Amino acid sequence: MKRNRHWTLPVLLLPALFLAPQDPAARRWNLEVENGMLKPIAVREGASRDTYRTFWYLTLKVTNRTGKSQRLSPMAEALTPQDHKHPRSLAGLYPEIVEKISVREKRKLTNLLVAPKEIADGESLDLVLVFPRLSRISNTIEIRVSGLASRLYKVGRSSWIEDRVLSILFRRRGDEFHSTMAPIVELGRAWKTLSRTKIRG
């Protein structure tokens, strides 16, 4: 009787199929982020020595440990829900302010908005966010940073697209008349999914 060999190859391949790593391009990932404290910096504006403008900034150290190079498209905003007239402030460029912050922090910082378009595996970037118009009224401040996590990923046969941000929550104690001198504490941070849509599967 002739022996049936049709089952040999599939049986040998089964462990490989179940143990094979998923395509790295399809994995859900995010970069590692270390953040500093939200701080004010006063900069003299105009010819008068008595005219100052206050900017707020946040330093970030971003590291890629995903196993491959990743493209970056970062943006940032500050949400101040207690101020109904100005509940949102976008981070800006302000290269002269970034230079002053670098001097204060004693290291070279790059504005998040002009960060390299790609970060290699194992690479770290020292970044800073600059907010020109952070509300003095709101004591609760949420910083949201986008573009540091996967946007398209797969689970099984399904493909998903999502908008995921790093949310860092701060609490400023005191009133609006002394906002730059009021102590600030970090309440916590987390990756937050704002939207998710199934596009295949």
pLDDT tens, residue by residue, 58-96: 999 999 999 999 999 999 999 999 899 999 999 999 999
- pTM for the whole structure: 0.82
Supply the pLDDT for residue 61: 98
Share above pLDDT 70 across residues of the chain, in percent, rounded to a whole number:
82
Where residue 17 falls among pLDDT bands split at 50, 70, 90? very low
Supply the pLDDT for residue 182: 75
Q: Is 24-200 a CATH 2.60.40 domain?
A: yes
DSSP classification of residue 149: B
Contact assessment for residue 163 and residue 149, using Cβ atoms and an 8 Å cutoff: no
Helix, strand, coil share of the chain (percent; to 5): 15, 45, 40
For residues 152-178, give the mean pLDDT: 86
End-to-end CA distance of the chain: 45
Amino acid of residue 167? S
For residues 164-182, give the mean pLDDT: 78
Q: Which long-range contacts (CB under 8 A, 24 or more apart) does 189-193 make?
A: 189/35, 190/166, 191/30, 191/149, 191/164, 191/165, 191/166, 191/167, 192/144, 192/164, 192/165, 192/166, 192/167, 193/162, 193/163, 193/164
